Amino acid sequence: MFVHNINPTLLDIGPLEIRYYGIFYALGFVIAYFMINALVKQKGIGLSRDEVADYIFYLVVGVVAGARLFYVLYNPSYFWENPLQIVAVWNGGLIFLGGLVGALVAIKLFMRKKNIDFYTLADITVIPLAIGLALGRIGNFINGELVGRITSVPWAVKFPDYEGFRHPVQLYNSLANLSIFGLLWFLKDKNYKKGTLFWTFLVWYSSLRFLMGFFKEADQYGFLLGITVEQLIYLVAAVISIICLKKVR
């Protein structure tokens, strides 16, 4: 068993605080830039390196704004009392579903500007996205947030401000996202129809998040129909994604 005493802050430079969480997210976007450039070239998509950089900028704004907005709406009372914390994304507090909505808006806006099919961009974007999500979960672990349920497994972790030893569910999620990346990387060279990679990502991500919910501590919304509200959301998302995947194949 492991006692979590990791300092989430890498450097303090006056009022500026550099946290591992922010570094991991930034690294995810850097990886996305280079990987999308390589995939654009491989797939013969008519985008220059500068246009890919513009696309990444759209994604950064869309993902961060969407993910933070959902988190603020998820915890309205706290941010009502601490409005300056709304922009403090480096402290953690980004919700995937919000980031996905923001990313979809960004892709839509960019595809209209460049007259590119939505799935052409979405299919290649979800590949580095899986890596970025894996890095983000490591950041959650270092922050000691989004913890798992109490357990006695040998690899259980004692997180600050939480009772008992718990599942390091953040690391479980990180490994799950890496497995999704491996699957998408394998499929990218296959003869697939547009939209296949995008919906495959959502099927597996939603399904694995549903399963991980059995190890994660329930949030303030508790349980519904024997599972957490979060699990119910991802179960519905998985079903919808499976239906959409069948339609594009």
Give the pLDDT confidence of 206-236 residue by residue, as tens digits: 999 999 999 998 876 677 777 898 899 899 9
Q: How confident is the model at residue 113 (pLDDT cuts 50, 70, 90)?
A: confident
Report which of 241, 214, 238 is spatially closest to residue 227, judged by C-alpha positions.
214
How many structural domains are present in the chain? 1
Find the helix or strand (DSSP H, E) in which 72 lies: helix 49-74
What's the domain range around 131?
2-142+151-248
Q: How far apart are CA 6 and CA 142, in angstroms?
A: 6
Indicate the DSSP class of residue 193.
-
Q: How confident is the model at residue 161 (pLDDT cuts 50, 70, 90)?
A: confident
Q: How confident is the model at residue 248 (pLDDT cuts 50, 70, 90)?
A: confident
